Structure 1
Amino acid sequence: MSDDDTTQIRTLITTWADAVHRGDLDGVLADHAEDIVMFDVPPPHDGIRGLPAYRATWPPFFEWQAKGASFEIESLDITAGADVAYAHALLRCGTPEELAERPTLRLRLTLGLLKEGGRWVVAHEHHSFPHD
């Protein structure tokens, strides 16, 4: 794993999370593969496939987030090979009320990345909350 690849991936992920927090759809879509597969917290539980379907999942999240919810990376670990990488993170994701009620609750994020044409893109994204 090269430090340069790890730095590029860390920047890609933190830039993506910042775009999510700002409600910047173009920023959220940047650096994602055209054939992305995402498993998300809300349905469909068999996931979504392709960038158009991925795009469609974000406006409802942005509406919810506009009510004051946070979306902040708390920890991020990355493992990168020459052309494949994965990352996993914990994020504070919730409204102030939700986080006050469950202060240790964290969104789990796993990303699978590919190096295409010399740049890293997210090919797989998985969001989940633990089931208590």
Structure 2
Amino acid sequence: MPDDETQIRTLITRWADAVHRGDLDGVLAGHAEDLVMYNVPPPPEGLRGLAAYRALWPPFFAWQATGARFEIDTLDITAGAYVAYAHALLRCGSPEELAAHPGLRLRLTFGLRKERDRWLIAHEHHSFPHD
């Protein structure tokens, strides 16, 4: 069985690939039912639960279908026996946005926990730096 860091890297990479493809089932896979997410768009208090998380993706997929990118640039992971965190930078934007701001990266932080020998994403935080 792969080590914890490899398992988490695979989980997050598959998640990002599913987002890029617009694959909702793939995006939801590996997330805890009691997930908490803080995202770029409202609500400022974040989202709680897998149903709320599911509902936020269709508008993003519609925007992304216009030609936007969503791809991991860097991913760092720290894993303990039962909890872990990861942080990543992603290229996320339309071709025009990325051409105008080539260094702009979406910042992601993940909190994970291990349940029954399986890593689950329990927390996600997405943000862009302020100009």
TM category (shorter chain) comes to over 0.9
Aligned to 1:27: 26
Q: Percent identity?
A: 78
In structure 1, the partner of 2:62 is: 63
Aligned-pair distance for 1:83? 0.3
DSSP 3-state at the match of 1:86 = strand
The residue type equivalent to 1:50 in the other structure is G
Secondary structure of the structure 2 residue equivalent to 1:112: strand
Could you list the runs of 5+ residues in structure 1 that have no partner in the other structure? none
**RMSD (CA atoms):** 0.7
Structure 2: which 5+ runs fail to align? Answer: none
Question: Cα distance, 1:98 vs. partner?
Answer: 0.4
Give, in angstroms, the shift of residue 101 of structure 1.
0.8
- Return the alpha-carbon distance in structure 1 between the equivalents of residues 114 and 91 of structure 2: 28
* Aligned-residue offset at 1:10: 0.2
After TM superposition, the score normalised by the length of structure 1 is 0.97
C-alpha distance in structure 1 between counterparts of 2:10 and 2:99, whole Å? 30
User: Secondary structure of the equivalent of 2:12?
Assistant: helix
Matched, 1:98 2:97: yes
In the alignment, structure 1 residue 110 sits paired with structure 2 residue 124 = no
| Separation in structure 1 between the aligned mates of residue 30 and residue 71 of structure 2, nearest angstrom | 19
Number of residue pairs aligned between Structure 1 and Structure 2:
130
Partner of 1:119: 118
2:103 and 2:11 map into 1 onto residues whose CA distance is 26
Distance 1:117 1:128 in 2: 31
Q: After superposition, give the CA deviation of every residue in 1:64-107 in whole Å (9 maximum; x if it has no partner).
A: 00000000000000000000000000000000000011111000
SS of match in other structure, 2:99: helix
Structure 1 runs, 4 residues or longer, greater than 4 Å off: none
Question: Partners in 1 of 2:31 and 2:15 — Cα distance?
Answer: 10
CA distance in 2, matches of 1:79, 1:25: 27
Query: Is residue 2:81 matched to residue 1:82?
Result: yes
